[in-house]
Amino acid sequence: MENIIEVKSLGKLFSNSPALRDVSFHVRKGETFGFLGPSGSGKTTTIKILTAQLHATSGSACVFGVPTTKLKEELYRKKIGVLTDNSSLYTRLNIEDNLKLYCDLYDVPVRRIGEVLEMVNLASERKKTVAKLSKGMLQRVTLARAFLHEPELLFLDEPTSALDPVNTKHVYEGLARLKAGGTTIFLTTHDMNEAETLCDRVAFLNNGSIQLMDSPRNLREKFGDATLTVELNDGSRVIVKRGSEGAQTLYDYMNTNQVKSVYSNNPTLGDIFVDITGRELA
């Protein structure tokens, strides 16, 4: 499968202090790849290097097969969408007029505005002046702008950090639609549920280096303890091992109608992160 992003031994120093150390990964076409890490771990620095806003100190970063330092403005404009905390919207204009400016810039038909506003749950607010928007609304407008031109590659730096659960869900649905349409997504987050929901693969970043990289499912299986918790009708809980012995125990409980629920004890991504790094994600 084609790699859209290729990063090899990337390093970044800020005044001799390392923000990234020997970071290597690739992102395949159509994949949603998550960079998970606590505050200060180097997520934004990575996005800035990949979007040519920063130079790396060492190593290489290619996007669409081209070193990021050599990416032409035109290619960026057409194929890449970026959401960062720097919204740069015109605060005196309303949402729709802001997006119209981008339609002109990106040669996008104005009818696309309705589609993207629908995806971020702002269709009925299109006439609102940007200066009067809440933080969460601003984040949604910036997100809508990032995928207005249907980019092939979308960089999202903590896309739901200011959103409530309802709008977060709406954005997840919108991103799922983009993914279904073939968009490759590079996403940073410290929200492990977000990573589990959206990402095909994740990399755990800590102190500027990648500690672990795989699909959420593989990670949960690899770090799972292969047991199930059986909750009984009397409120007690029993841990049973997977395999024939556990199956017999489970069968006995079920056969006597004692089982209220059964669930896997596989860890969450957050549990694994804490296990590997000794640090919380938030």
Ligand X SMILES: Nc1ncnc2c1ncn2[C@@H]1O[C@H](COP(=O)(O)OP(=O)(O)OP(=O)(O)O)[C@@H](O)[C@H]1O
Chain residues that interact with ligand X, rule: CB under 6 A? 14, 19, 37, 39-45, 190
The nearest distance, CB 14 to ligand X, in angstroms, is 3
The nearest distance, CB 15 to ligand X, in angstroms, is 6
Given a contact cutoff of 8 angstroms between Cβ atoms, the answer to whether 2 and 50 are in contact is no
The nearest distance, CB 135 to ligand X, in angstroms, is 15
The nearest distance, CB 139 to ligand X, in angstroms, is 14
Among residues 17 and 255, whose Cβ is nearest to ligand X? 17
Among residues 55 and 241, whose Cβ is nearest to ligand X? 55
The residue with tokens 């032409």 is 72
The nearest distance, CB 33 to ligand X, in angstroms, is 15
What is the bridge-based pairing of β-strands 32-36 and 80-83? unpaired
Among residues 32 and 45, whose Cβ is nearest to ligand X? 45
DSSP letters spanning 188-231: EES-HHHHHHH-SEEEEEETTEEEEEE-HHHHHHHH--SEEEEE
Among residues 150 and 158, whose Cβ is nearest to ligand X? 158
The nearest distance, CB 22 to ligand X, in angstroms, is 15
Among residues 40 and 114, whose Cβ is nearest to ligand X? 40
Distance CA 32, CA 5 (A): 12
The nearest distance, CB 213 to ligand X, in angstroms, is 16
Instruction: Tell me the three state secondary structure of residue 92.
Output: coil
The tally of CA atoms less than 13 A away on the side-chain side of residue 246 is 13
Across the chain, where does the E strand assignment appear?
3-14, 17-28, 32-36, 58-63, 66-67, 80-83, 153-157, 184-189, 201-206, 209-214, 227-232, 237-241, 259-264
Among residues 43 and 112, whose Cβ is nearest to ligand X? 43
Among residues 16 and 244, whose Cβ is nearest to ligand X? 16
Distance CA 73, CA 171 (A): 28
Residue 230 CB contacts under 8 Å (≥ 6 apart), including other chains: 237, 238, 239, 240, 249, 250, 253, 259, 261, 262
Instruction: Tell me the three state secondary structure of residue 64.
Output: coil
Distance CA 49, CA 4 (A): 15
